[in-house]
Amino acid sequence: MLLRRVIKHFQHQEWTAIAIDFLIVVMGVFVGLQASNWSAALNTDQQSVLFTERLTADLQEEAFSTQFLVEYYEDITTHALKALAMLENESTGSNEALLISAYRATQYTPAYRRRATYDELSATGNLGLIRDEALRMTAIRLYTAPHYKSFETEGENSRYRVAFRMAVPVAVQNAVAQQCGDRASTIGDYASIVDILDYECTTELSADVLANAVIGLRSNETLVPLLRLRIMDIQTLISILSVSNPEILLGLKGLAKSDG
């Protein structure tokens, strides 16, 4: 209809009407573009809010996981040092205490990650949707850091863990694990990870069984050197996690949710 009207105005040389028609067309295009831009900007804002909320939740869980790893491996180191001192006769302790500490020195845990939001943003080139620069940089530093996997591989490849499992009867190991193994924790509950592997317990094993198990430990000539190696490896990992990456820790600390 507009085109026919414009043609008619040209035929009659109605220049004022033609100018008005032209302005109508231009304004229509302008308004359409503005509406499209506004809609796109609104959609981007909504996506930014959504992904920021998701990434924040992910990093809050990562903050808990990081603190869990520090607490857990510090407990392992505590018991590894206790076991080493008793095996080297530098301190005294009961057979049960030695067995418990030697067992706890074998432990490890996977570093559970929550990175789906970051991976989605990274794969689609949309990290810019995270407008909070501190949040965005914390995520980039955290999810590109290689050291989290090291906690799991160190435990899986621990020769001390292998030596202990070969030296102690299976039934004894199962009893120690049941009575003195890892305690459960709840994500976000920071109180639940304090002394998660460093608490009082009893194996409920007889004195003879405990004595025989300790004889097996002390008679293994490789156990002490391998325990020393494990202690140093874990101390290196803790240092990497808690000292060598201050920017990551600072960013996570600001996101951590404490239960008390």
Distance between CA atoms of residues 244 and 230, nearest Å: 20
- Cα angle 82, 88, 94 (rounded to 5 degrees) comes to 55
10-residue mean pLDDT series, the chain (260 residues): 56 60 64 64 83 93 88 95 96 95 94 88 93 91 81 86 96 97 88 92 96 96 96 90 75 65
Q: Which of 167, 164, 176 is nearest to 205 (CA)?
A: 176
Place of tokens 């008679």: 219
Say if residues 99 and 175 touch (Cβ distance below 8 Å).
no
Q: What is the pTM of this model?
A: 0.78
What is the model's pLDDT at position 211? 97
Distance between CA atoms of residues 195 and 78, nearest Å: 10
What is the model's pLDDT at position 145? 82
- Count of Cβ atoms closer than 10 Å to residue 71 Cβ: 19
What is the model's pLDDT at position 259? 44
Q: Which of 101, 76, 75 is nearest to 88 (CA)?
A: 101
Q: What is the pLDDT of residues 214-233, one digit of tens each?
A: 999 999 999 999 999 999 99
Q: Cα separations (Å) of 119 from 52, 86, 126?
A: 13, 47, 10
What is the model's pLDDT at position 260? 40
What is the model's pLDDT at position 171? 97
Say if residues 243 and 193 touch (Cβ distance below 8 Å).
no
What is the model's pLDDT at position 251? 79
Q: What is the pLDDT of residues 85-101, one digit of tens each?
A: 999 999 889 999 999 99
